[in-house]
Amino acid sequence: MKRTHHCGELRSSDAGTRVVLNGWVHRRRDLGGLIFIDLRDREGITQLVVDPAATAAEQVNTAQLLHDEWVIAARGTVRQRPGTMVNPQLATGEIEVVVEALDVLNRAAPMPFHLDDTTVAEDIRLRYRYLEIRRSAIARNLRLRHRVAKLVRDFLDALGFVEIETPILSKSTPEGARDYLVPSRVHPGAFYALPQAPQQYKQLLMVAGIERYFQIARCFRDEDLRADRQPEFTQVDIEMSFVDQADVLSVSERMLAHIAREILDVEVPTPFPRLSYTEAMNRYGSDKPDVRFGLELADLSGALQKSSFRVFRRVLDTGGCVKAISPQGLSTASRRTLDAWAGEVAGFGAKGLASLRVETDGSVGGQAAKFLSEDEKRDILGITAAAPGDLILIVADTPKVVHAALGHLRRVIARDQGLISPDRFAFVWVVDFPLLEFDDENNRYVAVHHPFTSPRIEDVPFLDSTPEKVRAQAYDVVLNGVEIGGGSIRIHDPGMQARMFERLGISAEESEDRFGHLLTALKLGAPPHGGIALGFDRLVMLLAGAESIRDVIAFPKTTRAACLMTGSPAPVDAHQLEELHIRCTTGVDADSQ
């Protein structure tokens, strides 16, 4: 029985048509004589009626055997339902199919969990991921993901971009995230690395004269997971020749606005707002600010420079800062709420959360008021622009801790107070990132973005004297407080690239060993170039309104980087290890060796 229609498409205008439907038994209601079957396929649900008056006895017997999720084919005639029996909950609710023949294509054992129950423990759903996809929002997300991928391809194709695949078996580089390694059988003791990004390949494609490249590329990073981080994830990787930063930003934001328009029917104005890294940190305490709401940070350091409050004074005397956010109308927040917020900031290293209340008469009360002079209180009111009824929450610490703590707290309060309208999509560019930062642990400078990022030309003179002041031609695109992409204009001058490696403390020998192919290529006619990589999973997650990128990935891994469905990773035969010249020192294999 070949299917003629999907389960979501029949309407009363189809009454009288003979149809064949295929699908899964969504639900069976056996009334003794009459049997109703909700038949489901990926497009919808249609009610079948097995009526002894219209259906052969043998087929009725078959219908009595059916259980949830059996796979069947049914032939019958579409019939308009009598008025009182129309089901307005169902797109096909005005009709039903009177069954004349029924084939069981496959039986199904009882389901291990209720497929419609969204509260089922995640490990059980992951073990039977195909069942979760069958009925949950995941299938809808995967189809959305497909549409976004197609929009990306069509958009970039129209602009002359060429989609090119780059190797998955790649080479380990010393900078960046921990690599996934693949042992080589034919080169004992040597390893491939899975790419953290196709970074070097795409630069080499620019040297190759491709000019406009893109790839929907799988990337691998062996770091600990989060709701928005998987060990393998997908980037929309883009690189262009003969461009400057403005060109890359323009192509990127036009593509993102196009996607928002097509997927969400939302018109996002371009160009997106630009914020410098410094401004983002100062105003939002984050390099990926959620700009859907205010609650910006106010700097109280100047006003409290001479404060007699020892907590603030000590921080300011040792190079720290004191900043505040002032949520409106929360002056009556309970002690319990304040404690909960103090707990939130404690996770970022803040030792406390001081609070002030602006009373209805404009006076300043609250837990920290007694430590402050009248002048200081007046200055704080001026800087924060807090009004009667507002609350002022203050953190004093190193800038890093203050920004992290208040940056987090403003998001928590905005979410709890409903300050975020769910249908807003606020894109923002963060630009002028520092090129380098000092790594205390290794006692050297490391690249904030990556070692191929070009400094701003006017800052190059400071590369040796004050490296942390050099700004990069690097940019991140942020959507609703989630970093969805980043890129840079690359170094195309071999001398500058060598100087960067030197600045990063990578010796000439090591840079030749690790990046020799790139340095050589830069000497052989490399055009100026730059690009961007968009986090495809995160983008689709936000478009889908999902809370984790697991919800937009067909077969995701757990926070321990395991696949509960297939059981990967798993031990392998001693024979396989031997071929690969590998011996395990710990773990499940070690004992047998």
Partner RNA sequence: GGGGGUGUAGCUCAAUUUGGUUAGAGCACCGGCCUGUCACGCCGGUGGUUGCGGGUUCGAGUCCCGUCGCUCCCGCCA
Q: Which of residues 332-391 bind RNA (CB under 7 A)?
A: 347-349
Work out whether 515 is an interface residue with RNA (CB under 7 A). no
Nearby residues of 53 by Cβ (< 8 Å), 6 or more positions away = none
Residue 482 CB, shortest distance to RNA, in Å, is: 10
* Residue with smaller CB distance to RNA, 123 or 464: 123
- If one asks whether residue 145 binds RNA (CB under 7 A), the answer comes out as no
Member of 63, 138, 197, 541 binding RNA (CB under 7 A): 197
- Pairing of β 274-276 and β 427-431: parallel
**Structure token pair of residue 292:** 């859907």
Q: Distance of alpha carbon 572 from its chain centroid, rounded?
A: 32
Which of the stretches 223-231, 331-339, 491-499, 523-531 binds RNA when contact is defined by CB under 7 A? 223-231
Q: Is 120 in the site for RNA (CB under 7 A)?
A: yes
CA 519 to chain centre: 33
Query: Which runs of consecutive H residues, i.e. helices, occur in 260-325?
Result: 277-284, 310-317
- Choosing from 117, 416, 573, 579, the residue that interacts with RNA (CB under 7 A) is 117
What does the alpha-carbon distance between residue 356 and residue 531 come to, in Å, rounded to a whole number? 46
Nearest distance from C-beta of residue 593 to RNA, angstroms: 21
Tokens found for residue 260: 């928002």
- Listed in sequence order, the residues at least 6 apart from 348 whose beta carbon sits closer than 8 Å to its beta carbon are 401, 404, 405, 408
What is the sign of the dihedral through the CA atoms of 572, 577, 233 and 213? negative
Task: Name which of 175 and 262 has its Cβ closer to RNA.
Answer: 175
Identified binder of RNA from the candidate list 11, 105, 122, 523, rule CB under 7 A: 122
Q: Which H or E run contains 425?
A: none
Q: Which one of residues 199, 331, 384, 454 is an interface residue with RNA (CB under 7 A)?
A: 199
Residues that contact RNA, how many (by CB under 7 A):
73
Q: Which is nearer to RNA, 321 or 436 (CB)?
A: 436
Interface pick for RNA out of 105, 159, 227, 572 (rule CB under 7 A) = 227
From the list 9-17, 24-32, 459-467, 519-527, the region that binds RNA by CB under 7 A is 24-32
Q: Which of 226, 424, 444, 517 binds RNA (CB under 7 A)?
A: 226
- The interface with RNA within residues 520-559 (CB under 7 A) comprises 548, 550, 558-559
Nearer to RNA, 126 or 394 (CB): 126
8 Å CB contact between 229 and 555: no
Q: Is the distance from CB of 473 to CB of 486 less than 8 angstroms?
A: no
- Residue linked to tokens 């973005």: 449
Token pair in block for residue 157: 């194709």
Position 266 contacts RNA (CB under 7 A)? no
Q: How far is the CB of 529 from RNA (least distance, A)?
A: 15
The residue among 50 and 251 lying less far from RNA, judged by its C-beta, is 50
Please choose, out of 115-123, 357-365, 369-377, 522-530, the segment that lies near RNA by the rule CB under 7 A: 115-123
Whether 217 and 198 have beta carbons less than 8 Å apart is answered as yes
Choose the stretch contacting RNA; rule: CB under 7 A; options: 2-10, 121-129, 140-148, 350-358: 121-129
Instruction: Between 175 and 493, name the residue whose CB sits nearer to RNA.
Output: 175
Give the residue, chosen from 2, 57, 119, 465, that forms a contact with RNA under the rule CB under 7 A: 119
| Whole-number Å distance between alpha carbons of 84 and 116 | 27
- 38/266 Cα distance (integer angstroms): 36
Residue 373 is inside which H or E element, if any? Answer: none
DSSP 110: P
Question: Does 232 help bind RNA (rule: CB under 7 A)?
Answer: no
For RNA, the closer of residues 19 and 356 by Cβ is: 19
Least distance (Å) between residue 31 CB and RNA: 4
User: Which stretch, 79-87, 185-193, 334-342, 366-374, contacts RNA (CB under 7 A)?
Assistant: 79-87
Q: Residue 535 in contact with residue 484, Cβ under 8 Å?
A: yes
Residue 341: Cβ-neighbour burial (10 angstroms; 0-12, 13-18, 19+): buried
CA angle 551, 557, 561 (to 5 degrees): 145
DSSP SS3 for 354: strand
- The answer to whether residue 51 forms part of the interface with RNA (CB under 7 A) is yes
Rounded Cα–Cα distance for residues 322 and 496 (Å): 39
Residues 414-453 that bind RNA (CB under 7 A): 446-451
Site for RNA contains 49 (CB under 7 A): yes
**Binding flags for RNA, 203-222, as an x/- string (CB under 7 A):** ------------------x-
Among residues 123, 157, 247, 339, which is the contact residue for RNA, using CB under 7 A? 123
Q: How far is CA 452 from CA 175, 199, 203, 241, 460, in A?
A: 11, 9, 9, 15, 14
Stretch that binds RNA, among 78-86, 272-280, 391-399, 538-546 (CB under 7 A): 78-86
Q: Compute CA distances 69 → 37, 104, 113, 135, whole Å.
A: 11, 11, 12, 11
Q: Classify 452 as helix, strand or coil.
A: coil
Q: Name every residue whose Cβ is closer than 8 Å to that of residue 8 and which is 6 or more positions away in sequence.
A: 41, 43, 44, 45, 46, 91, 92
Q: With CB under 7 A as the contact rule, which of the stretches 196-204, 294-302, 458-466, 568-576 interacts with RNA?
A: 196-204
Q: Report if residue 175 touches RNA, rule: CB under 7 A.
A: yes
Check binding of 77 to RNA (CB under 7 A).
no
Decide if residue 114 touches RNA (CB under 7 A). yes
Rg, Å, the chain Cα set: 30
Smallest distance from RNA to CB 381, Å: 31
Q: How far is the CB of 157 from RNA (least distance, A)?
A: 25
Closest separation in Å from C-beta 116 to RNA: 9
CB of 27 to RNA, least distance (A): 4
| Letter string b/e over residues 488-511, b meaning 16 or more CB atoms within 10 A of that residue's CB | bbbbbebeebbbbbebbebeeeeb
Chain residues 560-579 in contact with RNA, contact rule CB under 7 A:
560, 562, 564
Does residue number 27 form part of the binding site for RNA (CB under 7 A)?
yes
